[in-house]
Amino acid sequence: MKKKSFSFFLFTVALVSIVLISACDNFEEPELPKINDLSFSLVNNEDIPLSNVWVKVYFADVKPGFVVDSTLTSVAGSGSFKSLRPGSYLLKAFDDSNAELGATEVVVQEDDTQNVLAWKLDVFVENYNFLVKLMDNRQHPISGRKVSFFTTDLNPVLIAEGSTNSQGELTFSKTVVGSYRIVVYDETNEAIFAEEVVAVNAAAPKSKTFVIQKIFHNGDMVITGYFPDPKGSDSPKTGAVSGAGFEHPGQYEYVQLMALRDIDFTKEPYSVVVTNSSIPAHWGMGLDDPTTKRVYQMNFETGSVKKGEFFYIGGSAGMIASYWQDYGSPLFDEDKYWKVDYAAEPGGNGNGAAKDGSGLMGNGSGAIGLLANSKGYPDGVAVFKGTHVDANSTPIDVIFYGTTMNFDLEVVKLRITDTDRYSTVNPETDEDQSLFGQGTNIYLFPVPKQDDGVFIKLGGQVTPTEWLVPRSGTPLLFNLSAHPAASVSDIENANDCTIFVDK
């Protein structure tokens, strides 16, 4: 009995198993209802996006009055519905007062990629052409600048963008009433340069002008460095012997410049005037007093320079980094360096006495690192077109170096020009300020540590018309004792040297 029961049990288990297994084999998963998304864009007959429109979706056939879903169009006139079964639907658009603007039938397809609807409605939308104009501070148009129109929401939406044309203009057509943030990009068209929120409506102006301030200069050449205090004697007489028996080939101080166009000095002469630790009356003071050492002029009347090249004017040694003990530094190329025997010869055009014993440019004293922390008076270096410089002459470029403004503006009348650091008009008050020391014209470039042989690289980035990056002044320890391999690369191609941008 027991045995039979057990056999029956086994049989039953086997049978049930077979039934279960076969049931599993035949089981069909019920098909999930297919659901798709429908996205749409809504414009009027002028292709103006219809924003803030309520769009409701209804079943077209069954339950026609039943609202399946609804959405508000974005500022770009777009919207979407999620999770619609394939089939026929009716879309209706309503304005903000719930008046129906129009309707359209749409079939949601099995293939979800088909479910994109471009929908046009015959609706008038008030709109305007909005003009953005970019000009520099000399009223020249600025072309090729990216300008963007954004909404003013917390999450701004880009409405349109483009580049200014040769007139510096960009028109945003079909701009609907609203408030927008206009973004003007910088020269790289990446970073924001300026932005402003404007209202667009019937009463508001339909244009906006941005003035992009540029740092214009007036130079055919600019001052890019100076070596006012070489190690050892600054201004020995040619042939004098010092150090460990070194016979000086000339003097060692010089100014570095960069040409911003090709210039043949035999046809177009220029001049450089420097002041020296003193209170000069004006750049041409030597014409009034030939014995003064407060100014010294050096002329470019020979040779030529090429656009973007560095060149030099200074002591007749023509050495890059003066001397040390019994040997001199490498020389500048002859055609890049204008030699002036400032120890023996009076200044160009009779402007200033020979500088024997006093040096061309003033030195500082004390030190913080490679810079002096004290200098009695600021000194200046100015470039003039032509070789006649008098009290009324205005330079084409000018720098001043020092540690403190210390002179009497009633006595010292050194004219400046518009540069990266000085301005003939006070940018805050619009008052004329044609002299160094007046108004905002108080920028001082650094002074090298005394008698250590420090060159000042002025740096910055310059084009033939403007400073893209203003000059500042970085010291370079530049003497043969510390730097026996001194070369022009150190002051022309290294970090912090002035960069020419030809545009």
What is the binding site for Ca ion (CB under 5 A)? 228-229, 234, 359, 361, 363
In angstroms, what is the minimal distance from the CB of 443 to Ca ion? 21
CA distance linking residue 83 with residue 489, whole number of Å: 69
In angstroms, what is the minimal distance from the CB of 278 to Ca ion? 13
Q: Which is nearer to Ca ion, 254 or 270 (CB)?
A: 254
Nearest residue to 458 (alpha-carbon basis) of 450, 180, 367, 469: 469
In angstroms, what is the minimal distance from the CB of 332 to Ca ion? 18
In angstroms, what is the minimal distance from the CB of 320 to Ca ion? 16
Q: Which is nearer to Ca ion, 255 or 259 (CB)?
A: 255
CA distance linking residue 312 with residue 335, whole number of Å: 9
CA distance linking residue 274 with residue 227, whole number of Å: 12
Nearest residue to 345 (alpha-carbon basis) of 278, 386, 298: 298
In angstroms, what is the minimal distance from the CB of 300 to Ca ion? 21
Q: What is the DSSP string of 83-135?
A: EE-SEEEEEEEE-TT--EEEEEEEEE-SSGGG-EEEEEE-----EEEEEEEEE
In angstroms, what is the minimal distance from the CB of 239 to Ca ion? 20
295-300 and 67-72 strand pairing: unpaired
Other CB atoms within a 10 A radius of the CB of residue 101 amount to: 17
Cα diameter, the chain:
146
| Cα–Cα distance list, 458 to 83, 257, 322, 446, 475 (Å) | 66, 10, 20, 9, 9
Alpha-carbon Rg for the chain in angstroms: 39
In angstroms, what is the minimal distance from the CB of 304 to Ca ion? 28
β-partners of residue 210 are 134
In angstroms, what is the minimal distance from the CB of 344 to Ca ion? 16
- What DSSP state is assigned to residue 349? G
Q: Which is nearer to Ca ion, 379 or 490 (CB)?
A: 379
- Residue of closest CB approach to Ca ion: 359
**Contact yes or no for 230/246 (Cβ under 8 A):** no
Helix (H) or strand (E) holding 285, with range, is helix 285-288
